[in-house]
Structure formats: C-alpha cells, structure tokens
Amino acid sequence: MMVAAIALVCAAASVSPVARPIRGLSLDILTALRWEIFGRSHDPAASPAVIVAMDEESLRTDPFKDAPMLTWTGEIGRVLSATLEGGAKVAGFDMVIPKSIEQSEIPFGEGTLGDKVRGFDRDFLRALAGAAANGKVVLGEVLGGNQPVRPSPGQRVAVRQQQNIRPLNVHIDSDDILRRMPLGFTVNGAKVPSMAVELASRALGAAPEFDERGRLTLAGYRVPGRVPNTMTLNFEGGADDIPTFSFADLRACAVKNDKDYFRRWFAGKVVIFGSVLDIEDRRQTSKRFATGIEGARAPRCAAESTPVMAGFRISTIAGVYIHATAVNNLISRNAVVEPGPLVRFLISTLFAALAAVAAWRFRPLSAALAWLAVIVASIAGATIAFNHALALPIAEPFLASLFALAATIGFRFVIADKDRRLLQKSFALYLAPHVINRMLSSNKLPELGGETRNVTVFFSDIEGFSLIAEKMSPDSLMELMNEYLSAMTDVIERHGGYVDKYIGDSIVAVFGAPADDPDHAANAARAALDCCKQLAELNASSALFQEFKLAQRIGINSGEALVGNFGSRRRFNYSVMSDAVNLASRLEGANKFYGTTVIASETTVALTGEAFAWRELDAIRVKGRTQALKIYELLALSAGLTSSQAVLITDYADGLAQWRAREFERAAQYFARSADIDRPASLFAARARELAQNPPGEDWDPIRTLQEK
C-alpha cells in the first residue's frame, strides 16, 4: 500500500504544472538520440521543401556586397521567377520587406530618394504578381497587436492582399524553446492558416480543413498535436536534411539562364526564401542538442561566388528551417505524435511503481542500479518509437521514478527498516556479515521473544585441554586459544553457523538460526570436516602450536530447539535451548570413549543426504536420557572417501550386524580386521570375544550406556 501511494504521488507530481519546465525536454533528448543512433532518415534530395538562403556568401558577393536588402528586390524577383519556371510548386517568404526604397523620403537633389528611384521594385512586383496569379507565392507577415509587420504596400497589392499573405508567427514553450508550430490564426474573426500550412496545402492541392477545436485535416491527414491548434515538429538532426541554396549562387545561375539547373533542383519543390545569418531570426528548438554547421551544401550552379560555412555548431537554427521542417512534416505526414496527459500519467505511474518496488525489495545500491537499467532500457525503447514519430515521455517517468526511488529508500530508512537495523546491530558482534545479510533478506527473521526452529547444534572441545593449561603461562594460553577459537569460528561462520558461546575451550554453535537455513545439518557436517582440516594446518604451520599439538572432539545433533533472547530483564543474549543442545554435548563426550573426532546423531545423518561418508558406530544411551539412539562417525565427504576408509566402513558394518545378531565369534572376526588401527573396532572386538566366551542371557541388550558426559 505504501509503495503504491508513493508511486501515485510521485507520478502526479511529475505531470503537474510544477514540472512543466522539464516536460519538453523529452522531445529534445529524443531528437538528439535518434540522430546519434539512427542518423539521417531520408535523402535530402527527397525533401519536399528547399531553402533559398540569404546567407553570408550573398552579403559578400557582388552586386549585394555592402548593399541594404531593400535594394535586392529586383534580384529576388529574378530568382523567384527562375525557381517557379523550373517547376517549383509554390514559393514562400520567411522574411518580411516592410518598406520599399521607392517610399524613401530622404532628400536627394531637388526631390527625394524615392522619387529618383521610382520603378526600382517593378521587376520584383511583376514577379510577385505573376506568381500570385497562379497561386504560387505566399508572402509572410508577423502578427502582433495592432501593429503587425507586413510587406510593403506595393507587395501586398502585387500578391492580391491577404489572399497570398500568411502569418509567420511561431509557438514558444514556457522554457523559451520552440517545439511546435501554430496551424492557424484567427484574424478579424476568420481562420487563417499559418505559412507552413498554406505552403503545404498548395503543394498538395488540397485546402486545409479546421474543426471547431482547431484540429487540422490536410489532404486526408489528421495533423496530430498535443497543444491545441499546434503541430509538434519532427526535426531531423544535423544541418543538411533540407537542401539549402545560396541566393548569390542562384542569382548568378538565373543571370546565365541555366534553366536545366533550376528544373533539376526545384521541380515539384516548395521553395522558401529566408535568412540563415547568425544574427537574424534564430531560435532554440527541440533540435538544440542535434544541430549541425549550417551552410549552402546543395550542388552549385555558378562559380562566381565563394561558399561561406559557419565555423562551429551552435544550438540555435535559422527560422526558415523551422518553417521548412513544418512543411516537410505536413507533406510527408510524419509530424510527432505525443501522448495525452492521462497516458503520460499512467507511464509515469508505471515507472514510479517499478522504482518504488525495487527500492522496497532491494538494498539502495542494487535498487539504484536496477532503476538505472530500467531508465536506460526505456530511453532506448522511446528512441526506437521516436524513429517512427511517436514521442513517448522520458522526462516525466525519469522524474517520477527518481522521486519514488528516493522517497521509498527514505521511508525504509526512517520507518520500515528500523527493526531490521536494530537486528543487524544486535547480531553484528556474533554473526558473520554474510549470514546477517542472508537473514535480513529472507522472509524468516528471528523473533525477539523466542521461537521454535529445527536447527543443528555443533559442540566442540579440545582433547586434554586441562593438562595443556597446566603447562602454559596464562598469556601463552590466551594467545593459543585466541588463535584456535578465531580459526574455528571463521570456519563455522563461513558455512552459515552462528557461534552461540565459548565455554573455556568449548565452542557451541547453531546452524539454522538466527538465519533460516534448510541445509543446516549438511552445513554443520561440512563445518566439522573443515574444522578438522583447519586444526591440522594450524598444528603444522602455526608457531603457537609447535609445543602442543591440539586435537578436538565434535558432537553434532539436529532437532527442534527454542532460539531467541534469553537472560534477565537488563541483560540477555541470543541463544539456543533444548534437549538437542544437551545431546550434542553428550555426543562430543562420546568421542572420548570411542577414540573418534566427529560423532553425529542419526537425526543429523538422515538430514545430510548422501553427500557424506558416515560410519554407524553404535547404539547408545547417554547420561540423562533413557531413549537409545544410533550414533555415526563422520569420516569424509562421499566424493573424498578413500578405499581404505570404504573397507573399514564395510568390515565394521558387518561386525556390527553380527554383534546385534548375537553372533559374537563372527563379529569378533570382522572387528579384528581393523582393530589394530581403529579404536572403535578394537573396543568391539574385545567385547565380542568376551561375550563369545561368556554368552549373555536372553534379556541381553545390544545398546551401550555411556555414564560420562
């Protein structure tokens, strides 16, 4: 419930107005990633729109060098006519020339400059009028309050007033980034298409259709748009996706009347005239992370001017590329589709839920890595979807999941994991770190008041410790015991055991608590074998063990036990209590009688499976218990059993079977085969020979009673 609440709150925050400034970042990132991963999606020659650029090359080339653009009109008209004669479907102007040099009132001689140059714009106006008569030219204007920026009066008349003039206004998001283009404007109560819509509709030969909600249908294509009356632009990366021609080069081409060139590059195209200068009409767009070095890269017609390329890439692009991109999107029907608010919320909720679940179930570092992997995978998937013009949100899910991750980790740290940290702190001094981690990650934590569990108790003791202690100084004895107990503890903890206590030279350990362990018996058996191996290495290599070679005895028993915190009201310790503990102690002591090292109960042997080589030693009663039990000696892992040990087990088993069948003579023969090297066999051989000579009565019991602890 808490995880769900965190996910919902974080998702709601990510799509709220507060997060609006980062919302458009998804488009910017996806545009850049698509460009880096997939590169260019189409051949620039296939672009429906082309650009005639008023560029740095034009400013440096005669006759335009050092001349104001008011004086370029005649040559603009020349190039306009050449492109339309070359087969261009329509031409638009992403530039407004609001004045004519013919309107100049600057005194010049006995009159004004305007009077002296009367007729200067005639060729330009004739070109406009001829194109307008065929519906092949659209001039631009900039709407704004009561003073819109419009073409000069002569141009407006030439193109038949508003019939061939369309707004150039753009849509800017709240973060000052241009990601969308308006589809239309309301002027004097009438719906007027934008420049891009008008150019695309004329190229397609279909009138734009707006519904009551401002949605546009063009030639059967319902233009998608998350923001009403706008289209989300689908920018290509780089700077050569839209063919760009230098105005200076085209003017030289028109002068030499190279009609083939214009037919080759402008037939069937939408031509847009505009500035690409670094100081005019530039915008940051959703392409800001994927821009390129702009310039006229289209094949040149004349060699009379020198191309001028920008020296470095900048994050803005010329406004003419924005309109050209909008035209391409409309004609190619690949405007970006953005999910609505509900879908964005659901996606953000999904990611927030995944992050919250990861933070709830895993440790903080693991959760963070899992979250990062999900984010990377989601961005990769979103990039693939964006390659098909579907803009799945990435900023909102990222923000929602990050908040959910942090909030859930914080909640766990402050509230949910408080008890776990207490347990971790409580067990830190007497459990191996990996055992603590396994215990905390399991679903079975220890109960502070005590609980009953199936466990295996491990009890070890040093043989002849009292005699060794008498011969050593206290400091030397302490150093020896610390070395021994440290080595044995490391082995026990490595196998998942918990050292309950040290009693002098004895070690009491538990397997299966506090960390739940279904293989507690097998792990205890492995620990016993490794303890023997470790002690042998200490005896051989440690300087402290050179004077006194230590030998140990180990008893192992499995069964139900009460585990938990025991003690007084002010002082307590996590320990284990049950008859299973006492029996493990008795089995450790039984080693002294049989001359063995590791003895386990039949319960433990049954739980360990076939991974170990056991030898059934005897059936005994220990002091304090009336019930008999079979005991087994642990010799080795089954895989490491030697041939001599296998023969020993077989002979001993045959002897034990004869012993229990009252065939004492035959039992003595089997036991005698290994009596010289095996103390248990020697004990049974002597006893069997005695009973063979003095047979017991009918009430004879083949169970040995051990009186010593």
How many angstroms separate the Cα of 705 from the Cα of each of 182, 251, 592, 630, 654?
100, 119, 14, 12, 22
Residues 57-108: tens digit of each pLDDT: 888 888 888 788 878 888 898 999 999 999 999 999 998 888 877 676 677 7
* Angle CA 506–589–612, to nearest 5: 90
Q: What are phi and psi of 458, to 5 degrees?
A: -115, 120
pTM to 2 decimal places: 0.64
Q: Which region, left, alpha or beta, applies to residue 257 given φ > 0 means left and ψ of -120 to 50 means alpha?
A: left
User: What whole-number percentage of the chain has pLDDT above 90?
Assistant: 43
Mean pLDDT on 11-22:
79
Residues 396-434: tens digit of each pLDDT: 888 888 888 888 888 777 765 666 666 666 666 555 565
End-to-end Cα spacing for the chain:
56
| Per-residue confidence (pLDDT) for residue 10, from 0 to 100 | 81
Contacts of 17 (CB under 8 A, 6+ apart): none
* Angle CA 531–532–533, to nearest 5: 90
Q: What is the dihedral of CA 285, 288, 289, 292, to 10 degrees?
A: 120
Pairing of strands 552-567, 572-577: antiparallel
Q: Which region, left, alpha or beta, applies to residue 161 given φ > 0 means left and ψ of -120 to 50 means alpha?
A: left
Contacts of 336 (CB under 8 A, 6+ apart): 27, 224, 232, 233, 234, 329, 386, 389, 390, 391
Residues 213-242: tens digit of each pLDDT: 888 999 999 999 888 899 999 998 887 889
| Per-residue confidence (pLDDT) for residue 268, from 0 to 100 | 93
What one-character DSSP code corresponds to residue 42? S
Compare 567 and 658 and report the one with higher pLDDT.
658
* Angle CA 401–408–404, to nearest 5: 15
User: Which tokens belong to 418?
Assistant: 């408080």
Give the span between the Cα atoms of 17 and 174, in whole angstroms. 11
Give the span between the Cα atoms of 455 and 441, in whole angstroms. 19
Give the span between the Cα atoms of 68 and 522, in whole angstroms. 95
| Per-residue confidence (pLDDT) for residue 40, from 0 to 100 | 83
Q: What is the largest CA-CA distance in the chain?
A: 159
| Per-residue confidence (pLDDT) for residue 337, from 0 to 100 | 92
Mean pLDDT of the chain: 86
- For residue 282, the cross-strand partners are 318
Strands annotated E in 202-356: 209-210, 216-218, 221-222, 230-232, 244-246, 270-275, 282-284, 316-318
Is residue 331 scored above 90 in pLDDT?
yes
Query: Which of the four pLDDT bands, split at 50, 70 and 90, describes residue 311?
Result: low
Mean pLDDT on 531-554:
92
Compare 446 and 553 and report the one with higher pLDDT.
553
Is residue 153 scored above 60 in pLDDT?
yes
Is residue 130 scored above 70 in pLDDT?
yes
Compare 569 and 357 and report the one with higher pLDDT.
357
Residues 435-445: tens digit of each pLDDT: 566 666 665 55
| Per-residue confidence (pLDDT) for residue 330, from 0 to 100 | 93
| Per-residue confidence (pLDDT) for residue 377, from 0 to 100 | 92
For CA atoms 430, 612, 456, 514, give the dihedral sign: positive
Count CB-CB contacts under 10 A for residue 163. 10
| Per-residue confidence (pLDDT) for residue 683, from 0 to 100 | 92
| Per-residue confidence (pLDDT) for residue 282, from 0 to 100 | 87
| Per-residue confidence (pLDDT) for residue 419, from 0 to 100 | 60
Contacts of 98 (CB under 8 A, 6+ apart): 149, 150, 151, 152
User: What whole-number percentage of the chain has pLDDT above 70?
Assistant: 91
Residues 671-687: tens digit of each pLDDT: 999 999 999 999 999 99
Q: Are 549 and 421 in contact (CB under 8 A)?
A: no
| Per-residue confidence (pLDDT) for residue 115, from 0 to 100 | 64
Query: Which of the four pLDDT bands, split at 50, 70 and 90, describes residue 147?
Result: confident
Is residue 154 scored above 60 in pLDDT?
yes
Q: What is the dihedral of CA 322, 325, 329, 330, to 10 degrees?
A: 70
96 HSE (CA, 13 A, CB side) = 19
| Per-residue confidence (pLDDT) for residue 64, from 0 to 100 | 82
Give the span between the Cα atoms of 269 and 623, in whole angstroms. 106
Residues 596-609: tens digit of each pLDDT: 999 999 999 999 98
Is residue 626 scored above 60 in pLDDT?
yes
Strand order through the sheet with 165-167: 165-167, 137-141, 90-94, 270-275, 49-54, 244-246
Query: Which of the four pLDDT bands, split at 50, 70 and 90, describes residue 708?
Result: low
Is residue 280 scored above 80 in pLDDT?
no
Is residue 315 scored above 80 in pLDDT?
yes
Compare 116 and 90 and report the one with higher pLDDT.
90
Q: Which DSSP string corresponds to 258-299?
A: -HHHHHHHHTTPEEEEEE--TTSSEEEBTTTTSB------SP
Q: Are 230 and 342 in contact (CB under 8 A)?
A: no
Q: Are 589 and 708 in contact (CB under 8 A)?
A: yes
User: Which tokens belong to 427?
Assistant: 């067990």
Query: Which of the four pLDDT bands, split at 50, 70 and 90, describes residue 706?
Result: confident
Give the span between the Cα atoms of 318 and 324, in whole angstroms. 10
Length of the chain: 709
| Per-residue confidence (pLDDT) for residue 435, from 0 to 100 | 56
